[in-house]
Amino acid sequence: MALSAPPVSYAVAVEEYLTCAGLAPSSARVYRISLTTWGWMLAGEPAPTGRTRRSAKPPAFPVAALDAPTLPDALAELAAARADEMDAHTVNRELSIARKAIAWWRQQGWVERDPTIGIERRPAPPDRTKGLAEKQLAALRQLNVSLREKTFWRMLSESAARADEVLCLNVEDLYPADRRGRITAKDGTTEWIDWQSGTAQLLPRLIAGRVRGPLFLTDRKAPARTPSADACPETGRARLSYRRAEEIFERTTRLLANPLASPEEVEDLDGWTLHRLRRSALTHDAADGTSTPMPPARSRRDSAGSQGR
């Protein structure tokens, strides 16, 4: 039985979900575009592509139509056709967002089934992300941003560590005199990252005398449900999340990524990604003549082939 009356339309259901999801404005914008795209396919029609996708409106139909028994087969065909036209990362991201929304609607009792079941994620192509050029890094360092962002971005560009690993650093994991820190890798093993003088100069100001707790903190107090490992015992603030860190970096770098655009166009532009910032260190290692084993060691990957690209 529904916990509340189902919305009169899919568009209203989308807005209800976005309101309750607690997303930052930039994330809500991405989610709305993705859910609008899926709205067309859930209505049995091809989704808009190209520049019209960002400004498209979802067709009018009740959210309860997602329970139609014929929808999964029709949806699978439409999703496959769209996947042939779009890059795998976009398709997979949109599918993930749609499933999150549908799961929430099911919790509300508005729909009974997930029509995306059976639609598989597309294999991602080889990583050919280009690092930022030296001029771009210099421009990034000139931005008027908080000390937290300056330190985080500088550590990524100097260490080549993964953003999620750096965000998991605690103050007690740092060895400032050695310019290194202890991290937990994806497989659970303990590994080390190293940084240079830029990060070393910023860290003492960021730590500000703290001796424990997450290194990179949010601006607000941690919610009551925050795990103790992700809350600073000295300030009461929470650990900065990857999603929030990515949002800030992407939004802040939109004009740098699109130097010919005007400030009025910034909302419709895409900025740089944290992954691209990380790749900068590996790219510059290779350009500076670093020996072949070094870039994989910095990125802690097994294959030098992916770095060679």
DSSP letter for each residue of 108-173: HTS-S--TTTTPPPPPPPP--PPPPPHHHHHHHHTS---HHHHHHHHHHHHH---HHHHHT-BGGG
Both tokens of 156, joined, read: 């990524």
Cβ atoms of 279 and 130 within 8 Å: the answer is yes
pLDDT at residue 53, rounded to an integer: 62
CATH number of 134-308: 1.10.443.10
**Residue 33 CB contacts under 8 Å (≥ 6 apart), including other chains:** 53, 54
pLDDT at residue 266, rounded to an integer: 76
Integer Cα distance of 123 and 136 in angstroms: 31
pLDDT at residue 292, rounded to an integer: 36
Place of tokens 């999603």: 243
Distance of CA 290 to the CA centre of its chain: 30
Q: Residue 177: what residue type?
A: A
Which phi and psi angles does 231 have, rounded to 5°? Answer: -125, 140
Instruction: Per residue of the chain (309 residues), give pLDDT as tens.
Output: 445 677 879 999 999 999 888 776 767 888 888 899 899 999 888 877 665 666 677 788 999 999 999 999 999 999 888 888 887 888 888 999 999 999 999 999 999 999 999 898 888 666 566 788 899 999 999 999 999 999 999 999 998 888 988 999 999 999 999 999 998 766 667 889 999 999 999 999 999 999 999 999 999 899 888 888 899 999 999 999 988 999 999 999 999 999 888 877 777 788 999 988 888 876 655 444 443 333 444 444 433 344 444
pLDDT at residue 191, rounded to an integer: 87
Both tokens of 178, joined, read: 């050695």
Indicate the Cα dihedral angle 225, 229, 231, 234, nearest 10°.
Answer: 140
Cβ atoms of 126 and 303 within 8 Å: the answer is no
Both tokens of 74, joined, read: 């029709």
In the chain, domain spans = 10-108, 134-308
Cβ atoms of 192 and 179 within 8 Å: the answer is no
pLDDT at residue 240, rounded to an integer: 93
Integer Cα distance of 147 and 215 in angstroms: 12
Indicate the Cα dihedral angle 228, 230, 235, 236, nearest 10°.
Answer: -60
Both tokens of 3, joined, read: 């916990």
Integer Cα distance of 199 and 30 in angstroms: 32
Integer Cα distance of 236 and 294 in angstroms: 39
Integer Cα distance of 261 and 177 in angstroms: 43
- Of 169, 40, 171, 52, nearest in space to 94 by CA: 40
